[in-house]
Amino acid sequence: MTANLRYLLLSLFTLVGLVLPSTGCGDPPSGIDTQLEIRTEPGELVFHPETAEIEIAIVNNRDVDLFVGDFRIEGPDWQSFAIIDDIAASALPKGAKISLRIKANPGDFVGPGEHRSAVRRKGEASGKVGHNEFRVGKAQLVFTVSEPLQQHESFTQSVQVSFEDPSWWQQYALPAAAKILMLVMGFIMPLASLLTWMERKQSAMMQDRIGPNRANIRIGSINLRLWGLLHIATDGLKMLFKEDFIPKRAHRALYTLAPLFGLIPALVVFAIVPFGDALCYDGLFDTLSQADVDQCAAGRGGTAMQIAHIDVGLLYYFAIASIATYGTALAGWSSYNKWAVLGALRASAQMISYEVAIGLSLVGVLLVYGSLEPHAIVHAQMDSYWGIVLQPVAFILFFTAAIAETKRAPFDLPEGESEIIGYFLEYSGMRFGLFFLAEFIEVVFVSALLATLFLGGWTLPFGLIGASGFTSELAAQLFFAGGGALLTALGVLIWRTGPGGELVGGAIALLGLGHLFLATWSLATGWGTELPHLAIVLIGMLTWGLKILVLCWLQLLIRWTLPRFRYDQLMSLGWKSLLPLSIANIVLTAVVVFFMMPSADRGDQGAKPVRDAAGNPLDARVQLVDPSAAKSVRQPPTRRPGQ
């Protein structure tokens, strides 16, 4: 094993030595197109029947000024699309962009009739269209680009414009099912199960004990213990085969439903948590702009990395999470046990009390970012600062109240073992396992919501990465070098734990060395400022997952550090401390937001228009890096083919 790993390490370093000398530092790759190019955001316009209009930005990312004009719609269905803005041709300075809006007329694509479009997507039905169906439409937005002093050497650039009406299954049902399967079975359930091991292992380390390490599998002469990870499987087997006892005088229907009321809401609330920006189906290996990703997030050509995009997402969370209270109340009442009833009463009072503090602590986030939708809140943090910077008090209040909602120490009064109190006191087997698992799923959800609202969701700090790649070469180098160093060190530590850790530790160390290789590659070639869309999606999901893992570890640390409150202290903390502080945070945030918002938004009169260095009003549709370099040349009005 050791010899094989050394051979792999030697091979990797040999590859680095052979590849790097062949790459010139700063030398442009061969075959680069020297033709004047201009980028559009998004790179393709996709309309649905409910799409009102789409704004497209034409960006000059060249080192010279370019002349842009003669905007028109061409193609088979050009009559069904229109340019809303009357944009005059103008010289676009380097680094500047000009925006215009395109709209479609859905009525032109309603059947019956034949498909008029010459180009059809893969798998698209051909032939006649029904009375209430939409056919596919195709066109191009065409414009000319040239240097201002050499307009006779212009060339034409086009952007694909399409109209489609995907089926409900294709647009919503199938992507939602795939995301549910990936999120629940690929992340939530494995992490919740892993937390049961982490809880015991971390508590053992903090209390100077060995912890779980007895479960093992013998394969020939090798005895695998895997640091106690096999205890997760043994716990599941024990709960499956343990006697399912039901008290004689229990209400059997409610007794059976109570664990489901505890587990299902904990899973359903994950529907509003975004675990990435968006996934574009046709651009996985292309470099996309933020406008392309935003179009995919709206369901046109892709899907948002979020199960349900609900405008009132946080209100949905409060509505669903409150149902978990019924699970604890019904579990205690239906058991026909006075100690279980007492635990249920404690749990109900505690969850209802701290829900007030949770709701009020998030009002400050709503005031700062102006949205209840988690996906929009993450985007607002990308444009300004993370929530923990703008709302540090709200972060502490929400974190405290959320831990109380999960009924974990130091707020575990509903499960007072020393007092023989617990709403699940009469439960055994897999029924108890559902309560047990729901508790850890709630820990994961609290971490996911904290990461979304206060820690930028899937984004890296300081805006290191965007939709098209890292913002600079240094950002790419820091990311891959830092990640590579951490992974390599972790792999070496695991490798040295014993024979059972050589394979896992070696794989992690090789992954870390791969990151270090990418950092070196970026240092030598400047690679990293443009990455494939798939790489951006994976980095975002990995970032989101690491934030959740750290927050879960923090909750476990609190669980085994602080002693249990008395019940009067628990209620006093919620009503006399968290509630007043939440209200004070709302008032302070509202005052600050009011005085920091633009004058026009406050209704003040006499706001002055934005002007350039020469004192001329700037057109809001043209954004310039250097306004003093703005130039405009009037051209004939936009024409269409055949006019």
- Cα distances from 334 to residues 111, 349, 464, in angstroms, run 58, 18, 53
Radius of gyration of the chain measured on its C-alpha atoms:
30
Q: Is 568 exposed, middle or buried (0-12, 13-18, 19+ CB in 10 A)?
A: exposed
Per-residue pLDDT, averaged over 540-545, amounts to 94
Question: In 526-600, which ranges are continuous DSSP H helix?
Answer: 533-559, 567-572, 579-596
The pLDDT value given to residue 130: 62
Task: Report the range of poorest mean pLDDT among 589-593, 601-605, 607-611.
Answer: 607-611
Closest CA to 363 of 417, 422, 318: 318
Closest CA to 393 of 583, 187, 125, 126: 583
Read off the pLDDT band of 630 (50, 70, 90).
very low
Cβ–Cβ < 8 Å for 241, 416:
no
Is residue 123 over pLDDT 80?
A: no
73 beta partners = 141
The pLDDT value given to residue 120: 44
Could you tell me whether strands 150-163 and 44-47 are parallel, antiparallel, or unpaired per DSSP bridges?
parallel
Per-residue pLDDT, averaged over 362-380, amounts to 94
The pLDDT value given to residue 602: 56
Is residue 636 over pLDDT 70?
A: no
What percent of the chain stands above pLDDT 70?
A: 83
Is residue 192 over pLDDT 70?
A: yes
Is residue 151 over pLDDT 70?
A: no
Phi, psi of 247 (to 5 degrees): -55, 150
The pLDDT value given to residue 633: 34
Per-residue pLDDT, averaged over 527-537, amounts to 92
For residue 388, the Cα-to-chain-centroid distance in whole angstroms is: 17
State which of 28-32, 74-78, 111-115 shows the largest mean pLDDT. Answer: 74-78
Between CA 183 and CA 264 the distance in angstroms is 15
Over residues 247-278, the pLDDT tens digits come to: 999 999 999 999 999 999 999 999 999 999 99
The pLDDT value given to residue 93: 85
Q: How many other CB atoms are found less than 10 A from the CB of residue 609? A: 8
Residues with Cβ within 8 Å of residue 27, at least 6 apart in sequence = none
Read off the pLDDT band of 112 (50, 70, 90).
low
Cβ–Cβ < 8 Å for 469, 536:
yes
Q: Residues 404-432, buried b or exposed e (16+ Cβ, 10 A)?
A: bbbbbbbbbbbbbeeeebbbbbbbebbbb
Which helix (DSSP H) or strand (DSSP E) does residue 55 occupy?
A: strand 53-59
Between CA 233 and CA 238 the distance in angstroms is 9
- Distance in Å from the first CA to the final CA of the chain: 76
Residues with Cβ within 8 Å of residue 528, at least 6 apart in sequence = 469, 470, 473, 475, 476, 477, 480, 518, 522
Residues with Cβ within 8 Å of residue 37, at least 6 apart in sequence = 62, 145, 157
Which helix (DSSP H) or strand (DSSP E) does residue 47 occupy?
A: strand 44-47
Could you tell me whether strands 222-224 and 217-219 are parallel, antiparallel, or unpaired per DSSP bridges?
antiparallel
Enter the DSSP assignment of 25. S
Enter the DSSP assignment of 632. E
**3-state helix, strand and coil shares in percent for the chain, rounded to the nearest 5:** 55, 15, 35
Cβ–Cβ < 8 Å for 52, 94:
no
State which of 130-144, 226-240, 386-400, 463-477 shows the largest mean pLDDT. Answer: 386-400
Phi, psi of 623 (to 5 degrees): -110, 125
Closest CA to 299 of 42, 106, 132, 51: 51
Name the residue with tokens 């899973």: 267
What percent of the chain stands above pLDDT 90?
A: 54
555 beta partners = none
Closest CA to 414 of 350, 508, 322: 350
Read off the pLDDT band of 315 (50, 70, 90).
very high
State which of 27-36, 270-279, 316-325, 487-496 shows the largest mean pLDDT. Answer: 270-279
pTM of the model: 0.84
- Cα distances from 231 to residues 199, 221, 225, 234, in angstroms, run 12, 21, 9, 5
Task: Report the range of poorest mean pLDDT among 7-16, 430-439, 577-586.
Answer: 7-16
Q: Residues 225-252, buried b or exposed e (16+ Cβ, 10 A)?
A: bbbbbbbbeebeeebeeeeeebbeebbe
Per-residue pLDDT, averaged over 206-218, amounts to 86
For residue 328, the Cα-to-chain-centroid distance in whole angstroms is: 31
Is residue 11 over pLDDT 50?
A: no
Angle at which helices 392-405 and 579-596 pack, to 10 degrees?
A: 150
Mean pLDDT of the chain: 83
Q: Is 600 exposed, middle or buried (0-12, 13-18, 19+ CB in 10 A)?
A: exposed
Is residue 606 over pLDDT 70?
A: no
Cβ–Cβ < 8 Å for 407, 424:
no
The pLDDT value given to residue 97: 86
Per-residue pLDDT, averaged over 520-540, amounts to 91
Between CA 584 and CA 598 the distance in angstroms is 24
Over residues 550-597, the pLDDT tens digits come to: 999 999 999 999 998 988 999 999 999 999 999 999 999 999 999 887
The pLDDT value given to residue 484: 92
Phi/psi class of residue 30: alpha, beta or left (left: φ > 0; alpha: ψ in -120 to 50)?
Answer: beta
Phi, psi of 203 (to 5 degrees): -65, -35
User: In the structure encoding, which two tokens stand for residue 60, read together?
Assistant: 């000059």
3-state secondary structure (DSSP) of residue 175: helix
Q: Is 397 exposed, middle or buried (0-12, 13-18, 19+ CB in 10 A)?
A: buried
The pLDDT value given to residue 118: 39
Per-residue pLDDT, averaged over 188-208, amounts to 92
Residues with Cβ within 8 Å of residue 586, at least 6 apart in sequence = 360, 363, 364, 367
Per-residue pLDDT, averaged over 446-468, amounts to 93
